[in-house]
Amino acid sequence: MYDINKIREDFPILSREVYGKPLVYLDNAATTQKPLCVLDAMRDEYLNVNANVHRGVHYLSQQATDLHEAAREKVRQFINAKKIEEIVFTRGTTEAINLVASSFCESQMKAGDEVLVTEMEHHSNIVSWQLQAQRLGIVVKHLPITDDGRLVGCNDITAYITPRTKLISIAHVSNVLGTINPVEDIIKIAHEHGIPVLVDGAQSAPHMKIDVQAMDCDFFAFSGHKMYGPTGIGVLYGKEEWLEKLPPYQGGGEMIDKVTWEKTTFERLPFKFEAGTPDYVATHGLAKAIDYMTSVGFDFIEAHEKELTRYCMEQLQTIDGMHIYGPVVNGSPVDNKDAVVSFNVGDIHHLDMGTLLDRLGIAVRTGHHCAQPLMDRLGISGTVRASFALYNTKEEIDALVAGIRRVSQMF
């Protein structure tokens, strides 16, 4: 078992104060803090290795390229992809989803064909498809959720699949509700109907061990900055047979094989999807973040964060007027909810609650969390969201609960 205080020493920002109060950082679903090993590795590359990758025969370029491709292999191992060619670097989950939306719809769909998402999706997994609906005439449909924030039963999903359903795109974990969706079951049903599945793993990759081969998803997207890595770097995993079918997302340097005035032929996988200079320092930082998470271990991460989630919900429910959204479990293991707790208190506006908690040094997210259709389903304008990482403690949850009680007394 890890000493949580030793873990916290790896994150210098956690020792700072805000408004003269110790920082209580509970906005990890938005972005996580970065350990020193990640910051040091990126600084070292800029100081000692900096050169463009895949472009030079000189020593620095070769060294930078080796680090960049070592990071790709690290990612492959992290999610247990079959081949390194199945790992495409992007700017984040949003770009990864947009890449699939653009390339898949262009090559695999026609007007009237359907993409199926869920009612709990982040805007990235809604708007990306709506743009294609405007351009190509495809139809975006959604699976409903229950009042307590769970997806309809898997048997009900088949009722939403039609002969025109060409792809299902689904969040692994809701960024608002923390609901863990049964993606393996959904993928199995989809594949029985010959439908590929894209999994938005932005909120799952930081918290649980991912095995894309066991999951059998066709695409999986996640971001570095939500798992202790730098901003501006993300990953799209795609099965080789699907990536081979899809056309490039963008044009530019290094994604080409040969260019003439008559036509262009494209590079092999994964490079045909990586136009221009990549953020090769960020890929190195992502690799170090993966090393850090692996050294801590997912057995610890999962157990620790599930206990924080259980404890938070248990303590929040002692507050008068508390309403928690999504699966709520009293004192029992939280098997279908992970690291996110969204709530409102009485008639207190979520923005007021978040602003006043901030004055107490407590960082939470407020608003619609880039999930306005979900807010409409819940009949609210927004929530307060506390979200956890491997460095959070029960004492921080106690501070949150005390802060909410203090704020509540003002109204």
pLDDT tens across 8-31, in order? Answer: 999 999 999 999 999 999 999 999
CATH number for the domain running over 39-293: 3.40.640.10
Which pLDDT belongs to residue 336?
86
* Token pair recorded at residue 294: 């692996």
Domain layout of the chain by residue ranges: 4-30+297-409, 39-293
Amino acid code (one letter) for 226: K
Instruction: Using pLDDT thresholds of 50, 70 and 90, give the confidence band for residue 379.
Output: very high
d(CA 85, CA 76): 9
d(CA 276, CA 88): 13
pLDDT above 60: residue 333: no
Which pLDDT belongs to residue 335?
75
Cβ-count burial of 267 within 10 angstroms (0-12 exposed, 13-18 middle, 19+ buried)?
middle
Backbone angles phi, psi at 125, to 5 degrees: -100, 15
Q: What percent of the chain has pLDDT over 90?
A: 92
pLDDT above 50: residue 203: yes
- Average pLDDT on 147-162 reads 85
pLDDT above 50: residue 276: yes
CB 382 within 8 A of CB 375: yes
CATH of 4-30+297-409, one of 3.10.129.10, 3.90.1150.10, 3.30.565.10, 3.40.140.10: 3.90.1150.10
pLDDT above 50: residue 331: no
Instruction: Using pLDDT thresholds of 50, 70 and 90, give the confidence band for residue 154.
Output: low
Cα distances from 247 to residues 104, 133, 256, 304, in angstroms, run 8, 18, 12, 42
In the block, residue with structure tokens 């307590």: 148
pLDDT above 60: residue 332: no
Which pLDDT belongs to residue 271?
95
d(CA 325, CA 395): 23
Strand (E) or helix (H) holding 175: none
d(CA 94, CA 176): 16
73-77, 207-211, 214-218, 333-337: segment of lowest average pLDDT: 333-337
For the chain, the average pLDDT equals: 96
Domain 4-30+297-409 shares a fold with domain 39-293: no
- Average pLDDT on 166-172 reads 98
Strand bridging mode 139-143 / 114-118 = parallel
Short-list 6, 192, 221, CA closest to 96: 221
Q: Where would I find the beta strands (DSSP E) of 103-206?
A: 114-118, 139-143, 165-171, 197-200
Prediction pTM value: 0.97
Q: Which residues are catalytic?
A: 370
